Amino acid sequence: MASKDLYPEIEPYDTGMLRLDDLHQMYYEQSGNPKGVPVVFLHGGPGAGANATHRRFFDPGFYRIVIFDQRGSGRSRPLGEIRDNTTPLLIQDIEQLRQHLGIDKWTVFGGSWGSTLAIAYAEFHPDRVRALALRGIFLCRKSEIDWFLYGLRELAPEAWRNFAGHIPEAERGDLLDAYHKRLMHPDAAVHMPAARAWSVYEGSCSTLLPSPETVRAFAGDVLALGLSRMEAHYFKHDIFLPENFLLANIGKIRKIPTVIVQGRYDLVCPIRTADELHQAWPEATYQVIPDAGHSAMEPGIRAALVAAMERFKDIA
Sign (positive/negative) of CA torsion 296, 275, 94, 30?
A: positive
Decide if 185 is catalytic. no
With both helix axes pointing from N to C terminus, report the angle between 175-183 and 188-204 in degrees, rounded to the nearest 10.
130
Mean pLDDT of 195-201: 98
Give the dihedral of Cα atoms 201, 207, 212, 217; nearest 10 deg. Answer: -70
Distances (CA, A) of 301 to 13, 52, 184, 263, 298: 27, 18, 34, 7, 5
Q: Say how far apart CA 112 and CA 24 lie, in whole Å.
A: 23
Q: Are 214 and 295 in contact (CB under 8 A)?
A: yes
Q: Say how far apart CA 86 and CA 106 lie, in whole Å.
A: 23
Query: Across the beta sheet with 37-42, what order do the strands follow?
Result: 14-19, 25-32, 63-68, 37-42, 106-111, 129-135, 258-263, 285-289
Question: Each residue of 8-27: pLDDT tens digit?
Answer: 999 999 999 999 999 999 99
Mean pLDDT of 152-156: 97
Residue 2: pLDDT band (50, 70, 90) is: very low
**Cis upstream peptide for 38 (omega within 30°):** no
Decide if 69 is catalytic. no
Mean pLDDT of 106-115: 98
Distances (CA, A) of 242 to 42, 269, 299: 21, 20, 35
Catalytic residue among 54, 180, 278, 294: 294
Q: Calculate what percentage of the chain has a pLDDT beyond 90.
A: 97
Question: Each residue of 242-256: pLDDT tens digit?
Answer: 989 999 999 999 999
Decide if 204 is catalytic. no
Residue 5: pLDDT band (50, 70, 90) is: confident
Nearest alpha carbon to residue 281 among 115, 159, 144: 115
Question: Each residue of 276-297: pLDDT tens digit?
Answer: 999 999 999 999 999 999 999 9
Q: Say how far apart CA 118 and CA 66 lie, in whole Å.
A: 14
Identify the structural domains of the chain with CATH numbers, from first to last.
Answer: 3-139+240-314 (3.40.50.1820), 143-239 (no CATH)
Nearest alpha carbon to residue 163 among 172, 181, 155: 172
Catalytic residue among 166, 266, 278, 295: 266
pLDDT for 316 equals 60
Sign (positive/negative) of CA torsion 288, 283, 241, 272?
A: negative
State the chain's mean pLDDT as an integer: 96
User: Is the pLDDT confidence value at 1 over 80?
Assistant: no
pTM for this prediction: 0.96
Catalytic residue among 31, 73, 76, 112: 112
